Structure 1
Amino acid sequence: MPPKTTTTTFITTVLLLLTVTSVTPKSTIEPCSTNNSCTALLGYTLYTDLKLSELANLFQTDPINILSINSIDVSQSDVVSHILPSQLFLKIPITCSCVDGIRKSVSTRYKTRPSDTLSSIADVVYGGLVSADQIKEANEIDDPNVLDVGMSLVVPLQCACFNGTDNNMPVVYMAYVVRPVDTLAGIAVRFKTTVTDVMVVNGLGGGDDVEDGDILAIPLSACASNFPRHAFDYALSVPSGGYAVIANHCVQCSCTPGSRLYCQPASMSVSCSSMQCKRSNLMLGNVTVQQSSAGCNVTSCDYGGFVNGTIITTLSSSLQPRCPGPQQVPQLIAPPIVVSPDMVSAPPTPASPDMVPAPAPSPFQLSGAPIDSLPGSVVPSTSSSLVFPPSANGPSGTSSRACTLVNPLSSFSLAMVLVLFLKVMFPFL
């Protein structure tokens, strides 16, 4: 029979573990001191079935840009009304600005609905990409428990630019919310980068690991343009595996093998200005080759930017050692109607064969969820004015960790169940 003191000590230890505070989400913050902006990405998982137009409205971005960056075919009829399935993981393009010395996007606004709370908006609707405290601060809300229906809230979403480079190579940065099953190695493999790069970008030490709710800046390899500064799409950078639809939806550009930006007429282009190169029969994206004893003469009609509403095309010729093959562009997929394992943010948890998945809750149902039933996500305030210039060899950010209390009610309930169980097992207590 175990000594009473030993059992009592065990119970006390368990109770302490259930009621102590836990260290939760850390986030990567990029200090800044200039007014320039960049196109960044958000890694977002749909919390319910949403029309493409609803998703675009959630982030105030172009629905065609959402599809193209994820290599989803935009040419299908009525694609904006297509319903995207719950739990689908997508990259969402946003404009990342410098506000109060911190990189973030402030172009997103959310209109409150009945039963919304700051926590449900932050943790459910926006998937932990922002915290309730950040929304409260950005909107100068005195009482977070009182939200009028129809309020227009600024949603300050985390993002990063880091000069659009990583190890002197062009990249686009994506804010990614870590899921319970994620590891640094798994994240690196999924997004075709390295553990070292993820650690350096996010200021992680050798002993650091990622936890559920952490927000990491993930460098995605990209192709950078060299359009003139006066072009509307100056400094365009397209991540590998996706497209950018530009010039009033007339041109689509992708990152081909060899990190070369390749642009061609968009599949949905209508009423577009001429895309034929002057003094040539070649159209935008066309290439001719002619083998010679000295090599291969290659002539191409390239995109030169969108200037004053006009598509600029340039004819270029070069002598190459060998003739190039056909352009290899990312494969387009049909707008998804179901979620396959490779379309979610993390590997799904194995389920029993006889388990039937429950239908996705509606936005109204989720918005009305009580605070203590939602996952916690508290990230540092973004009002800091500290500025640290990025290093010459890559990004330099700060990784901050904030604390939140474990739900005391749920902890108490678990403790009572444990005590009752031990009372039955050890009646001498």
Structure 2
Amino acid sequence: MAIRSSATAALLLSLMALLSALIVSSPDLGFTCTTQATCKSVIDYVSPNTTTLANISSLFGVTNFYDLLGANSLAVSTKPSQIFKANNTIKIPFPCICSNDTGISNKVPVYTVQPNDGLDHIARDVFSALVTYQQIARVNNIPNPNLILTGQKLWIPLPCSCDEVSGAQVVHYGHVVAKGSSVEQIAEEYGTDQNTLLKLNGMSNTSELIAGEVLDVPLKVCSSSVNKTSEDYPLLVPNGTYALTAYNCVKCSCQSSNNYTLHCNPSEVTPSNVTKCPSMLCQDGSVIGNTTSTCSTCAYAGFIKTSILTTLDNSTCSSNSAPSPSSNSAQGRFGSQGSSWSVLLATIHLGLLCFGLLC
């Protein structure tokens, strides 16, 4: 009996070791991320059932509901109770952390195991195959994926990245590939190119694109005046979206039609964590988002504790001014009155000529 028990124990240990090896060699976690950083990312979620925006926000641990609205360009007046139909796609904003060349969501979302749940069901059905059951087991140190407990808290490692692309800051978007899509179509829709998509996703050619897979798509963001000392630096807002910041007091929008320059205004929503929004005035007395009589714009520059930073942005002025004159022109020699002097001299010359003829 002792020999049989020892053999059984040895067999169990071998099976456990094999299972652990399978988990370790499971599909790679996250997107490629060569930097050590944290940032904000977004990912598609195809809802398997009709639900509400509040339920989606809760499932993914989105702490600020306005982040969900901004990522999807929904009006700030949209209610959490709004119905979201099954099989529709919504973008989920979440914090990303990069370490050891891998980017995954930073300890969110956290899912509570329900009765009769299995890891594969959680990965495939609850989170619409954004991750695999092996990846969930790996980050939660679960040696046997078949042994999870009701009430157990599981970290769901969504793929993301914080890397720059072609030397520029971007927001990495986990795009769920729709059936019939092509690399060319996706690149054109999101303002990038095929080679970038292929390189980011480790594909050698466009035929490797698979419907339903999560593709790393870099989204171009608007430039801003946000100071490096600000608590929301860097404020990366992708084209066609908006973000509420500084206690929800400021709404910053990014539009390609605005030369990819972040445009911020008072949000006019109820502030969070403060009883009243801080002052948003520039030194000339104008409010964030307003253009002064001298064509400067009062721009949002970030926030520190309970103070909102502002700055006068003169970049819009240069686009409206005439090109500078060349140094050898009358305008260059005489300034803005050069053309008037030329007319006057021509008139005097003509007058003297006429006077000579009459004499």
How would you bin the TM-score normalised by the shorter chain? 0.7 to 0.9
The number of residue pairs the alignment matches comes to: 286
Aligned AA (2:137): K
- Could you report, residue by residue, the CA deviation over 1:352-402 in whole angstroms, capped at 9, with x for unpaired residues? xxxxxxxxxxxxxxxxxxxxxxxxxxxxxxxxxxxxxxxxxxxxxxxxxxx
Q: What residue ranges of structure 1 are gaps of 5+ in the alignment?
A: 1-24, 290-296, 324-429
Q: Say if 2:226 and 2:234, in contact at 8 Å, map to a contact too.
A: yes
1 or 2, which has the higher strand percentage? 1
| Match of residue 231 from structure 2 | 232
Structure 2 counterpart SS, 1:37:
strand
Structure 1 counterpart SS, 2:244:
strand
Shift of 1:80: 2.1
- Could you report, residue by residue, the CA deviation over 1:156-200 in whole angstroms, capped at 9, with x for unpaired residues? 11111213xx23344211112334333222322333332222112
Q: Say if 2:278 and 2:307, in contact at 8 Å, map to a contact too.
A: yes
Which structure 2 residues correspond to residues 339-358 of structure 1 after superposition, within 5 A? none
> What is the aligned counterpart of 1:322 among 320, 323, 333?
320
Structure 2 counterpart SS, 1:264:
strand
**Greater gyration radius:** 2
Distance in structure 2 (CA, Å) of the matches to 1:201 and 1:42: 16
> What is the aligned counterpart of 1:277 among 272, 275, 282?
282
| Match of residue 30 from structure 1 | 32
| Match of residue 68 from structure 1 | 70
Shift of 1:312: 1.3
Structure 2 counterpart SS, 1:60:
coil
Distance in structure 2 (CA, Å) of the matches to 1:223 and 1:202: 24
Distance in structure 2 (CA, Å) of the matches to 1:100 and 1:59: 24
Q: Say if 2:232 and 2:303, in contact at 8 Å, map to a contact too.
A: yes
Structure 1 residue runs of 4 or more that deviate by more than 6 Å after TM superposition:
25-28
Structure 2 CA distance for partners of 1:56 and 1:137, relative to 1, 3 Å? same
Q: What residue ranges of structure 2 are gaps of 5+ in the alignment?
A: 1-26, 322-359
Structure 1 counterpart SS, 2:215:
strand
Which structure 2 residues correspond to residues 110-129 of structure 1 after superposition, within 5 A? 110-129=111-130
Aligned AA (1:239): P
Q: Say if 1:28 and 1:216, in contact at 8 Å, map to a contact too.
A: no
| Match of residue 305 from structure 2 | 308
Aligned AA (1:71): S
Q: Quick check: 1:146 aligned with 2:151?
A: no
Q: Say if 1:247 and 1:311, in contact at 8 Å, map to a contact too.
A: yes
Distance in structure 2 (CA, Å) of the matches to 1:104 and 1:27: 7
Q: Which has the higher contact order (CA 8 A, sep 6+)?
A: 1
Shift of 1:128: 1.6
Q: If the length of structure 1 is used for normalisation, what is the TM-score? A: 0.62
Distance in structure 2 (CA, Å) of the matches to 1:128 and 1:107: 16
What's the Cα RMSD here? 2.3
Q: Say if 2:50 and 2:85, in contact at 8 Å, map to a contact too.
A: yes
1 or 2, which has the higher helix percentage? 2
Distance in structure 2 (CA, Å) of the matches to 1:26 and 1:139: 15
Aligned AA (1:89): T
Distance in structure 2 (CA, Å) of the matches to 1:116 and 1:302: 50
Structure 2 counterpart SS, 1:225:
coil
Distance in structure 2 (CA, Å) of the matches to 1:196 and 1:95: 27
Distance in structure 2 (CA, Å) of the matches to 1:191 and 1:210: 16
Q: If the length of structure 2 is used for normalisation, what is the TM-score? A: 0.73
Structure 1 counterpart SS, 2:237:
strand
